[in-house]
Amino acid sequence: MPPKVRELIGELERAGFVNRGGRGNHRNFVHPEVAKPITISGNLGDDAKHYQIRAVRLAMAFSHNGVESMRDSARYAKIVEWSEEDQCYVGSAPGLIFAGCHGEDEKAVFEELCQVVEEAIELYRKDGKPLPPATSGCDLANRLQSVV
């Protein structure tokens, strides 16, 4: 069962994020070590959406006061999308790996993609190669909307 919106808010507050308010049931949290605010919407008792949970984990990874320090894997955007051609979900990490993973369940593909990214980073390290430039924090979601 997913956590409640109130639980995500509690995690953010414990990590030093401050609620700067918002309209309706939207709350905008900021942190001095995180470049972008994180918006959490919904009533306190609502189940958190999967994208909200991922966003909180990522934001906390960027915060040195968060539960975990920034991992190299958090520096790369991870995309899971439906492929009509393949009739399955396909996961990719542009800029880090070619191809990725696929499957019938979107959430399972994302979890597998995270593992693939960790393994790719480990291979770069073993080979003594520098990691490619980071792709997270590049506002890909908004940039991709203008492509359509």
Q: How many CB atoms lie within 10 A of CB 62?
A: 19
How high is the pLDDT of residue 14? Answer: 87
Residue for token pair 């990590």: 15
CA–CA separation, 39 vs 135, rounded Å?
A: 21
Q: Where are the domains of the chain?
A: 5-62, 73-138
Amino acid identity, residue 99? A
Mean pLDDT of 98-110: 92
74 close to 63: Cβ distance less than 8 angstroms: no
Question: What pLDDT is stored for residue 141 in this prediction?
Answer: 60
Taking CA atoms, 57 is separated from 38, 72, 74, 99, 118, in Å, by 11, 14, 9, 25, 16
The residue whose two tokens read 């995270």 is: 114
Q: How far apart are CA 81 and CA 90, in angstroms?
A: 5
Look-up of token digits 């909200």? 52
pLDDT per position as a tens digit, 34-84: 778 899 999 999 999 988 998 888 887 776 544 433 478 888 889 999 999
Structure tokens at 29: 């949290």
Reported pTM: 0.53
- Are the CB atoms for 56 and 11 separated by under 8 Å? yes
Residues 6+ apart with CB under 8 A from 10: none
Query: According to the CATH classification, is domain 5-62 in 3.30.920.30?
Result: yes
Which whole number is the average pLDDT over 133-147?
68
